[in-house]
């Protein structure tokens, strides 16, 4: 009960701030644009490595197990 009341209170405040903004006299200087581009490129690169590295780890783990099993089978068939 208290949690839902608090959530609804914050939701009303949030929506009020979104739909009735105050004027902001600001601008983007040239450094801001290059910073945003740098952030975007860093985000894409980190997503790429975050997704790629675990997949390669899993593949190498199973390939290593497969290789060990094949070697064991060869040893048994030679005997």
pLDDT above 80: residue 78: no
pLDDT above 80: residue 67: no
pLDDT above 70: residue 30: yes
pLDDT above 80: residue 29: no
pLDDT of residue 6: 85
SS (H, E, C) 31-67: HHHHHHHHHHHHHHHHHHHHHHHHHHHHHHHHHHHHH
Mean pLDDT score of the chain, rounded to an integer? 79
Predicted model pTM: 0.40
pLDDT above 80: residue 71: no
């Amino acid at each position: 009960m208290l949690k839902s009341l608090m959530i609804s209170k914050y939701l009303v405040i949030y929506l009020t701030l979104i739909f009735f903004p105050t004027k902001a006299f600001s601008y983007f200087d040239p450094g801001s644009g290059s910073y945003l581009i740098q952030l975007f490129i860093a985000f894409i690169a980190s997503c790429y490595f975050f997704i790629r590295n675990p997949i390669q780890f899993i593949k190498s783990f199973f390939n290593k197990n497969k290789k060990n099993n094949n070697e064991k089978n060869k040893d048994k068939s030679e005997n």
